[in-house]
Amino acid sequence: MTMFSIIICLSVLVFGVAFATEFRFQNNCPHTVWAKTLGNPGKGNPENGGFVMNAGDQHNFNIASGWAGRMWGNTFCNADGHGCKSGDGATPTTLAEFTLANKDGGMDFYDVSLVDGYNVGISITPIVGTYDKKGSGHYDCGVAGCNADLLTTCPSELTVKSDGRTVACLSACAKYKTDEYCCSGKHSTPETCKSTDWPINYPAFFKKYCPEAYSYAYDDSVSTFTCHGKPYTGYQIVFCPNQLYV
C-alpha cells in the first residue's frame, strides 16, 4: 500500500467516526425483541434493517449524519424472527423516529410515536457528552418515550390478542378508520382534527400513561424533542425501559 493510499484510508476512518451518530440499543424486556430499522427514501436501513435482541442484550452501531427514519421492535415472533404477533405494520407498533443533523453541531429531531398504536415500551435518551444543550426547555435534549406497559391498560376495544394474551394496542384510526380519528379528509388539519372533539378522546389515554410520546397526528407540540450535537448527538434506545434488566 502506498503512502497516499494509507492517508486516504486514515482519512476515511477518521471522518467515518466523526461524521456518525452512535446508537446504543438495550433490551430490558423479559423476552426477545427483533429490532427493526427503516430509513426514509434514499436514507438506507441501518444494520441491514434489523437485528435480534434477547432479554438483557445490548447492541451498538453508528449511523451516518443526515439520516432520517424510524426504528421499532417486533415481538412474540417465531425463532427465525418471522410470524411476529406485533410489529412490522401487521399490528400496532411503537415507533422511535429520527431526523439527524447533517453538519457539526446541527439540530436533531426525535420522538416516540404511538400514532400507529403500541406494542412495546421504548425510550430515547441522548448520550451524555455527545450533545450541547442550548436551553433549559423540557424538549431540549430530553428523554422521549413511552415507559409504561400499555398492554395491561389498553382499552378493551383497542386490544389485539393472540393465544389469549394482549400483544398490542390499536390506535383509534386503525380500529375505526374514520376521517375524524385518522385526521384525514375534512379533518386533515390541526384545526379540524382535535382529539378533544372526538367521540372518545383516545389520545388522552395514551398521554395519561406516556406523556412524552406522540398520541395522534397533531400532537407534535408536546411530543417532539430536539438536540444539538457535539459534534453529533448519540442516543440510547431502550426497549421496556421500566423493566429491571440493565
pLDDT in tens, 62-83: 999 999 999 999 999 999 999 9
In a domain, 57, yes or no: yes
State the residue range of the domain holding 221: 20-172+206-239
In a domain, 230, yes or no: yes
pLDDT in tens, 105-143: 999 999 999 999 999 999 999 999 999 999 888 899 999
Confidence class for position 11, pLDDT limits 50, 70, 90? very low
In a domain, 24, yes or no: yes
Q: How far apart are CA 124 and CA 144, in angstroms?
A: 5
Q: b/e string for 12-24 if b means 16 or more Cβ within 10 A?
A: eeeeeeebbbbbe
pLDDT for residue 199: 95
Counting every residue written for the chain, the total comes to 246
Q: Tell me what the mean pLDDT of segment 20-24 comes to.
A: 94
In a domain, 107, yes or no: yes
pLDDT for residue 3: 43
pLDDT of 13 higher than 80: no
Confidence class for position 245, pLDDT limits 50, 70, 90? very low
The burial of 72, by beta-carbon neighbours within 10 Å (0-12 exposed, 13-18 middle, 19 or more buried), is given as buried
pLDDT for residue 89: 66
pTM of the model: 0.89
In a domain, 92, yes or no: yes
Taking only Cα atoms into account, the Rg of the chain, rounded to an integer number of angstroms, comes to 19
Confidence class for position 8, pLDDT limits 50, 70, 90? very low
Sequence-separated (6 or more) residues with CB below 8 Å from residue 51: 25, 34, 35, 59
CATH number of the domain bearing residue 220: 2.60.110.10
In a domain, 59, yes or no: yes
pLDDT of 14 higher than 60: no
* Total structural domains within the chain: 1
Q: Tell me what the mean pLDDT of segment 3-10 comes to.
A: 40
Q: Tell me what the mean pLDDT of segment 181-194 comes to.
A: 96
In a domain, 186, yes or no: no
In a domain, 179, yes or no: no
